[in-house]
Each structure stands twice: as C-alpha cells, then as structure tokens.
Structure 1
Amino acid sequence: MTSYGICTVLILLCWAFWRLLKQYFIRSSLDNIPGPKRASILTGNVAQLFSRDAWNFHDDITEKYPSVVKFHAPFGGKGLYVVDPKALYHVTVKDIAAYEEPAWFVQVSALTFGQGVFATSGEQHRKQRRVLNPVFSIKHMRSLTPIFYAVAHRLRAGLSAELGDANFGETEILGWLGRTALELVGQGGLGHSFDKLDRPVPNPFHQVLQEIMPTVFSLHLWRVLLPYVMPYIPPRVRRLVGPWLPHRAMQKWRSIVRILDEQAREIYDAKKDALEKGDEHVEHEIHEGRDILSVLLKANSNAAEGDRLSEEEVIGQISSLVFAATDTTSSATARILQLLAEHPDVQDKVRAELLEASPDGEDIPYDRLVDLPFLDAVCRESLRLYSPVIFMSRDARQDAVLPLSEPIQGVNGALMTEIIVPKGTSIVIGILACNKSKALWGDDALEWKPERWLSPLPESLTNAHIPGIYSHLMTFLGGGRACIGFKFSQLEMKVLLAALLPAFRFTLGQREIYWNVAGVSYPTVGRENSNPEMYLNLEVITP
C-alpha cells in the first residue's frame, strides 16, 4: 500500500474513533428523544432497521415510542425515525432543502443507475423533473392504456399456456409479474420489447433487476462508508481494484451495474438513431413513438439550453425508470393477488365489478377503469397497509427545527413541541408506520379493509394533512422527491387486475409466502430462502 493509501486509512480510522468517543463527551439535542438501545457500537441500530426480517423492529419502534423516535446510526451517530405528520411535512415539503438524500444513497444510486433522478439533488434534480413531469401526465397515461392492455393480454395468454389443458395449477406468479412489469416499462416507457411473455422461462435481464435490492441491502457497512471513501479513490483505481475485491455481494453488484449500463446505452442509441431518421422511421417503431423515452427525447431537444438533459442524464433516466417501474409495481401487484387469494369474497367482488364494467370482454377504457370504486379501494388499501417501500432515508444538511403535530415526552419527562435537529442527523421517513398509525387511521388501522375507502375517512386522518401525494398515504412520498411515476404504477396495477381476474381464480398454494424488508420489499418461499419468488394456485374461469 502506498503512503497515500496508508494515510487515507489512518484518517478514516481516526475519524471513526472520534465519532464513537464524542457521544460520551458532547451532549446532543437528540439525547432527550426516547428510542431503542444501541445494538452495536459500530453500526448502532442499522442492522435492525435494514435486515430482511426487520418487520418486528419497525413495528416495535412505533408502538413503544412516540411519533418521533431516536435511533443510533453507525459510528456513534444519532438519527430520528419520523412518523409525526407535521414533522414529515417539513422533511419532505417545506424544508426539503435542509433534508437531502443521504450521501450513501446518492453514491449507490449514481454507481448503479448513473445520473438519473435517484442520484441527483438540488437544482439538477429539479431540472430533471421539469423535463420528466409531462411524460407522466394523465393525458399521456391515457394514451398508453392500449399498450398496457396489449401486454396484459400476453401475460394472460402465457399463464393459460402454462396451465395447459388442466385449467388449474400452481405458478410462480412473482416472476410473471416482474417480467410483465419489465415489458410494460419497455414498451410504454422506452419503446423497446424485453419479453414476449409466451413461455414460463425466466428473463435474464429481469433476474438482474430482481437482484439489485437484495444485493445492495446486503452491503450494510459498505453503503455507509462509500461517501467517506469514494472521494479519496480515483475512478481509475476503483476500476483496477474492483475485480479483485474478495466480496461476493460486491462482485455481484459490479456485474449488475455493468449489465444495466450496457442495456440502457443500447436502448438509448437505438431510440436516438430512430428519431434522427425522422417521423416516418419512428412510426414503424413499437407504438409509433408514443413511449415515454421518445416523448422525453423530443421534449429535451426543444428545451431551453439550461433545462436540457445531457446524454449521460438521459441514459441514467432509462436505468432508473426500468428499475423503479419493475420492482415496485410487481411487488405491489403480487401482494394484491396474495391478499385476494386470502380473501376470496373480496376477489369475487372485484371480479364482478370488472365484468359489469365490460360485459362483452372488451378492454375497459382508461377513464372508466380508474373510476371503478371497489377496484380502486382494493389498490389503495393494499398500498396503505403493504407499501412496497416501507421507509426512506434523509440526512440533515444543516441545523434545523422540526415542529411536531402533537407534543412528545422526552427522556427527562418534559414535553417537546419541536426538536432541534443538528446538521448530519440521519432521518428515517416512516412510510409504512404512518400508513398504519392507529392515531391517524383508527383502531382498525392494522386490518386490511378495502371498504374503508368507500366511506368518509376519519377526521383524525384528514385533519392531519399527511404530505403524501396520494390518498393521505406516504406510499409515494410527497414534495419534490415524490415518486414521479405513481400514475404509471397505478394504471399498470389496475390494467393487470382487469385482465387477470375475469380469467383466473387465485388461491393460496402449499408454499409459505414470506415478505422480506428491502429497499423494495419482496416475497420468498419461507424465511430462509433468499430468492425472490411467490407461488399461487390459478384456476381458469370458464365463461
């Protein structure tokens, strides 16, 4: 190791040692906030927050403590787990500039997806959203509906072919849904076909996408160290040393990044070439250039110089869009189908509503589909109680004050109406915890009850002013970092259910379904298995 490398290691060790020691000598405004004990001197409560089976920890932290909870971050740091609606509003909307994405999240996103919306902040992020917003409008979603139905019909045909003449059988439905989500974002988002959906054979690119979150989440300590190590290691050195790192998950991550980048550049080059050849050539492409990428590239070329995205930024949007639209929506749709299998009466009611809306079996038009009340209630309730993303992280980039909706009692017994948040504090946005808070949703908050959406919601909820962009929920977040494609996701779920439920009856099989905590939660067969998959029984419904 060179003297420069030795100095770097020594500096990092001294920094970590000081971070661990200073908590015993320097008092923090967070010391008076109740919270769980530190599980590890080095990593604090991070392993408990991020482990695959962290459900109980997240439940305990909100049941045993107030609406803002202190937890222990790595190397002696302190963080806040926030559920209080007013505090969430300040973190996600009003004081968004003070609470940015953590440095490790930005680094991981940049390394994995490139310079897309996940890896940017501040004015660069706002610039990207200005260009992207029009392509996710309701008008554009309405134009994509025929594309969605065409792909959904292929899924339905593929499932029927897998069942064969038996008209009943077990299928690994998560794989089918993931491949379908990939094809939907491929055709509707990129004007590119990834999968014919004609055989029950795993799609290699979809398998890579499935591995992203489990792989990244397995790199607990490495993620935290990235912001402190990356500035001292030049890209050339990283490229030389990377292949020799004796870490299986790290090597898998490198392979994922390479495949994502190659695929995104291939799609970008093909689309750019088609657009440069003119409208006549575009008309012969998939869906005649109505996809999101075509619209984005046209809008980008017409944008003012200061608002225009660079080539690397557009490529980054491709990787980001493919990942975001594949993992989250397939996870949410799989959960809905599991819930419908567990509640056959609800499944029958949704099916009856869909058949009434389309007695001749034709595709239900966009405006009619999105307005079906019980289908909508099932989707909302599932996204409430089983949000695919259960929390998000932020870092306080400056000293700030966090006001509270309701006072909390400090460790010293005093009531606090606001919290002084020091610069560098880690913030966890409790998405799922807010979605199922009994103080907001009532005593039945932990029950899956789609009918709650068919009558007025409790005043405790409506008066709380939850900052989420969707139905008093934090599922898609709120403010300037809210999920930009949430309408795309909602349309996809409803089209798939509209295509599948009239054709099949879903029931539970013999294999256990266990859901794992990750950046996007995912099911496995039992708790010990790490491979994302979920099996359900399907029965063909004869007319």
Structure 2
Amino acid sequence: MLRIVAKAVFAFVFISSAYILFGFVYRYYQRSLKFLRGPPRSSLLLGNDYQTIHQEEVNAIESKWFNEYGTAFRTSSCYGEDALMVADPRALQYVLHTSGYRFPKTKDSQQITRMISGRGILWAEGEVHNRHRKVLNPAFSAAQLRQFLSLFQRSTARLTNKWKEEGLDGSVVNVTKWLPKITLDVIGESAFDYKFGALDGHANELGEILKHMFADSRLYPQTWIVLYRAFRRSLPSPLSDFLCRFPTKEETRFKKFSDASKKVAKSVFRTAAEETNGQEDSKGSKDVLSVLLRSNLAVDPKKALDEDEVLSQMATIMLAGHETTASTTAWMLFALTKSPKDQQMVYAEIRDVRARVGVDAELTASDYDSMPFFNAVIKEVLRLHPIVPTLARQAGTDDSIPLEFPIITESGEEISQIPVSKGQRIILSIATYNRLTQVWGDDANEWNPERFMLDSKKKTALGVYANLMTFSAGVRACIGWRFAIMELQAILFGLLEKFEFSPPPGGLNDIQRVPAGLMIPMKKNNWQEGVQMPLYIKARE
C-alpha cells in the first residue's frame, strides 16, 4: 500500500515538475507582451509576484513602475508568465465597460471568490452574471434604498450613545473595532430583516471569523503558496478545481466564513419562505430577501436562482455590504483627523443642515446631497483609499486594448493600442488610476476634497460614481454602490455631529495601508496588534 502511495506521489511530483518546466519554456519564448517595457524579473520562478504581494503599503511598488513605464506595462508572474498592468482610463473603460463580458475574471479570482461567498454575483460570469444582476437590481435602486436612511441614522445614533455609555468620551478609540459592528447590524436588518446584535455585544460566529479573515498572524503567503496558486491557475479547469479541495491556511479561513454566512443565510431564508407559505409576495416588495424569495420560486429560468445561488448572494452581501463600508469609514475618519480644518468645514455644513431641518428630524437623501464639501470629502476618501486596490481579468479572445495616453515600447515605438492574446492576464490598478496625474492633476497624491467642487470635465468617463474606479465600472460595477454612499453619508453625519476626532498621542504617521485582500489599516512594525485605527474622540457640547 505504501509503495502505491509513494509511486502516486512521485508521479504527481514528476508530472507537475514537467508541466511547470514546459510552461516556463513555452511562455518565455512565446510571450505575447515581450514588446512592452516593464520592470525586470526579480525571480526566475516568482517573477515580480512576490514583490507585489509582500509590499508593506498598497501600490507602493506599482506606482513607481507606472511612473517609469506609463499607464500600461508588462510585469512578470510565476513560471515565466507575463501580465499586463493597466491604469489607463480608455483601457479600463474598454475592458470593463465597452467589452461587456469579453474580459472575464481570472480563474484564480473566481476560485477565491467562490471559496469566500459561493456561487453569487461576484463569482458569476457572462449570462449567469447577467441573470444574477437582473434579479438583484430592483433591491438596489435609489428609490428602494432611500427607505433605509432611517435605519442608517438610528444605527449611527446607537453607536455614538454606546461610546458615551462606555465612557469612551475623551479617550483613544480603535474605531476599526466598532465600525464593522454597526455596518454588520445595518446590512443584516436592511437586506434580510435579521438582527445580528453586534453593536450590543451579542456573540456571532461571522464577526469572530471576520476579525481574522484578512489579517492573521501570518499576513503574507509563503513562497510555496504563491507558487502553488500560480500552478493551480495554469491547469485546465477540472484539475484546477480539484486542487481547490486542498486549500491553503488563508483559503481555509475563507471557507469558514462561507460556511458560517450560509448557515445564517439558510436560517433566515427558510424562515422567510415558511412565512410566505411557498407563495410569491403579492405586494411585490423589493427588499433583498423578498427579491431572492421570488427568484427561488420563479418558473422563468431567466429570473430564477437555485437555493445555493440564493444563499451565495446572501453571503456575498453580508461580506461586501459591511466590511468595505466599515473600512472606508475608518479611512474617512483618518483623513479628517489629519486635516482638522476640513473636519471643521464638514461640521459647519452638518450644523447648518441640522439647524434647517430641526434637532430631532430625520434627514432625507436631499438633505445629505445638499452639503457640497461633505460629499466632496466622501469622494476624496474613496479616491485616495480604494478598499479593493486591483482587479484581475483575462482576455476571452484575441483583442486589442486602446490607450488614452500612448506608451513607449521596448523598441522605442509609441503605441496607442496593445494587442493581447486569448487568456492574457490583465491587472487593473484601481489605486493607480484614482491617483493618476493625467486625470486628477499634479496634486493627485494629495488630500484635496475641493477638487470635486470644481466643474472639470474628464476626457474618459469611468466608474459609476464621481469618475472613480473604486466601485469598478461597466457590467460588473458594484451593484450596491448607492447603498454604500447613503450609508457613508449617514455614518459620517452622525459621528461628526456628536464627536470631534483628533490624532492619538504620537500621531497617525505609523498607520500603514496594508494589502491583505482588502486594504486594511495597521501600525508599522506592530502588525501583531491586528487592524488598528486609534483616534482620540471628544463629545461635542
């Protein structure tokens, strides 16, 4: 028996080594991007992947490359593979918007997404994605979302009251401990009529898993894991999917979240299904849960979701609907803490609106939209601190990607089109585009909310909000972007109305934007403390 196992292991190792060697030689001599300039390969096996994955600050390395090579260039991946790295506006528009579904997610992106949240809208491609989006669209319309403003305001008020009750007024508070609680409670109640009770201290499995999901004791993957993932994505889909049954430690954390979120989702969904008694909601409610219930009962295959797809949508919304908003709010408070003058300007607008609508009145969407500098601050935070810094795509067919800003090739030729072969991996740099000087001006790397108060026209319109790439663009743009903006408005208003935020002793210069799947704040040389955004809070009189 042992001999058989040993032979099987030897055969696997031999075939794998031969496959890697063949792939390396083939890619080295057949690279479709060899005519482009790019950074030198730092490792024969790892290419530049190890550098970018293990950098301490989001986009620190890539920004230097973009400055040297232009808005598009070649970078090296594992086993001799080349990737196209892009931040050019027209190229991003072409890949994400103009081309529809011709540039799907890469195989490894799809696999990781499925591990985290299952067969939901983030995982789906092509017609399946189109079906998912059509089902969910009614739940994320502007009119539908406005009804949740009251919930956003009440939840923020509960947070400020909690800080006062626990005697945190006049002390340093790690806001990353509190913000995910309020956003988890909000997404549970608004989307699924489910009370997590996170802000009230109720223990919940999801919250505990999320604490360590993107940052644990080993933040960065070891070399063998980087190579294993690259090997896995290079295999034919059946073999690649089979190897996903042997997850890494990080992927095991993802799977734990998926299992826990689906467990909650199944309980909520089945309770709701029993209450409707297997009948479609005659009132045509458009909240997420009602929409999903109807889709599960639908006869028309173009409008139907099976139970696993429904549970996957719920898991997706639980994660994307609270973790990203909580992180963005943390960076928003960080930015305003470092710029007390701007914090005071935002507070002045808040005070004026409160005087106009009344002390106890609930604000409307129009009230929030009436504050120009307040909204400019939100846009500037989304620009400078995109929670998802990059997106990975691959060419579905041979194609040619247009550029707004021409680049210089290895031979010195200026080109404004980049031909790509089917299967070519493309890394879309959201973080770089959001700071591109050609788009945002010479002060693109600086905090300046007032840029959004100027009536400046951009050559190429991108994204779904303020010409930003933070919510992506095109057919795969974030379906919940309006929800996120409304929630950010309500939380920012509620927190700044009640509290003033200042730097802690020692300041905030040691806070790093760490790439860990999502962009998370951590203290330099103190990552063992976990996610950190310590701010001094003082109640306003």
| TM-score under structure 1 length normalisation | 0.89
Cα drift, residue 291 of structure 1: 4.0
Corresponding residue for 2:276?
275
Q: CA deviation at 1:248?
A: 4.3
- Mapped partners of 1:205, 1:120: distance in 2: 23
What is the CA distance between 1:429 and its match in structure 2?
Answer: 0.7
Equivalence map 1:20-419=2 (5 Å): 20-26=24-30, 28-54=31-57, 55-163=59-167, 167-198=169-200, 204-214=205-215, 218=221, 220-227=226-233, 228=235, 231-232=238-239, 248-276=249-277, 291-298=287-294, 301=297, 304-359=300-355, 360-361=358-359, 362-419=361-418
* 1:419-451 CA distance string (max 9 Å, x none): 111122210111111111111111111111111
Aligned counterparts of 2:203 and 2:334: Cα–Cα separation in 1: 21
Opposite residue 209 of structure 2, the aligned amino acid is V
Flag the 1:16–1:364 CA change in 2: closer, same or farther, 3 A: same
Matching residue within 514, 523, 538 for 2:521? 523
For residues 233 and 150 of structure 1, the distance between their equivalents in structure 2, rounded to whole angstroms, comes to 47
AA at the equivalent of 2:446: E
| AA aligned opposite 2:175 | I
Classify 1:44/1:514 alpha carbon distance in 2 versus 1 (closer, same or farther; 3 Å).
same
The 1-side partners of 2:279 and 2:374 are apart by 41
Say which SS state the counterpart of residue 99 (structure 1) adopts. Answer: coil
Cα distance in structure 1, aligned partners of 2:55 and 2:165: 34
Going from structure 1 to structure 2, the CA distance change for 1:217 and 1:190 (only over 3 Å counts) comes to farther
The residue that corresponds to 2:467 in the other structure is 472
Mark the CA change 1:140 to 1:299 in structure 2 (over 3 Å): closer, same or farther.
Answer: farther
Are 2:181 and 2:198, in contact at CA under 8 Å, matched by a contact in 1? Answer: no
How far does residue 401 in structure 1 lie from its aligned partner after superposition? 0.9
SS at match of 1:98: coil
Aligned length: 523
Between the two proteins, what is the percent identity of the paired residues?
Answer: 26
Deviations 1:142-174 (A, max 9, x none): 11111211211111111112225xx31111101
Question: How much does 1:238 deviate?
Answer: 7.4
Give, in whole Å, the separation in 1 of the partners of 2:520 and 2:345.
27
Corresponding letter in the other structure for 1:418: Q
Asked if 2 retains the 8 angstrom alpha-carbon contact of 1:148 and 1:188, the reply is: no
Shift of 1:406: 2.6
2:180 and 2:373 map into 1 onto residues whose CA distance is 25
- Structure 2 contact 175–535 (Cα < 8 Å) conserved: yes
Q: Secondary structure at the match of 1:387?
A: coil
User: Is the contact made by 1:111 and 1:257 (CA closer than 8 Å) also made in structure 2?
Assistant: yes
d(CA) in 1 for partners of 2:277, 2:54: 47
Distance 1:483 1:40 in 2: 35
Question: 1:353 and 1:437, CA in 2 relative to 1: closer, same or farther beyond 3 A?
Answer: same
The letter of the residue matching 1:47 is Y
Are the counterparts in 2 of residues 117 and 125 from structure 1 also a CA contact under 8 Å? Answer: yes
Residues 397, 424 of structure 1: 8 Å contact kept: yes
Task: Provide closer, same or farther for how the CA distance between residues 403 and 74 of structure 1 changes in structure 2, counting only shifts above 3 A.
Answer: same
For residues 454-480 of structure 1, what are the alpha-carbon distances to aligned partners after superposition, in whole Å with 9 as ceiling and x for unaligned? 1212x4xx11x1331211111111111
CA–CA separation in structure 2 for the residues paired with 1:277 and 1:24: 58
Moved more, 477-486 or 527-536: 527-536
Query: Following TM superposition, by how much is the alpha carbon of 1:304 offset from its aligned partner in structure 2, in angstroms?
Result: 2.6
SS at match of 1:80: strand
For structure 2, the residue ranges without an aligned partner over 5 or more in a row are none
Find the aligned partners of 1:232 and 1:411 in 2 and give their Cα distance: 37
Partner amino acid, structure 1, of 2:259: R
* Counterpart position of 2:511: 513
**Superposed displacement of residue 496, structure 1:** 0.4
Measure, in 2, the Cα distance between the counterparts of 1:399 and 1:506: 52
Aligned-residue Cα RMSD (Å) equals 2.7
Residues 303 and 152 (structure 1), Cα distance of their counterparts in 2 relative to 1, 3 Å cut: farther
Q: 1:21-59: CA deviations, max 9, x gaps? A: 124433x34112111111222221122223351532022
Corresponding letter in the other structure for 1:466: A
| Aligned-partner residue type, residue 272 of structure 1 | A
Task: Tell which deviates more after alignment, 14-23 or 206-215.
Answer: 206-215
Distance 1:238 1:430 in 2: 26
CA distance in 2, matches of 1:424, 1:42: 20
Q: How has the CA–CA distance of structure 1 residues 196 and 120 changed in structure 2, closer, same or farther, with 3 Å as cutoff?
A: closer
Contact 2:83/2:424 (8 A) holds in 1: yes
Q: Letter of the aligned partner of 2:321 in structure 1?
A: A
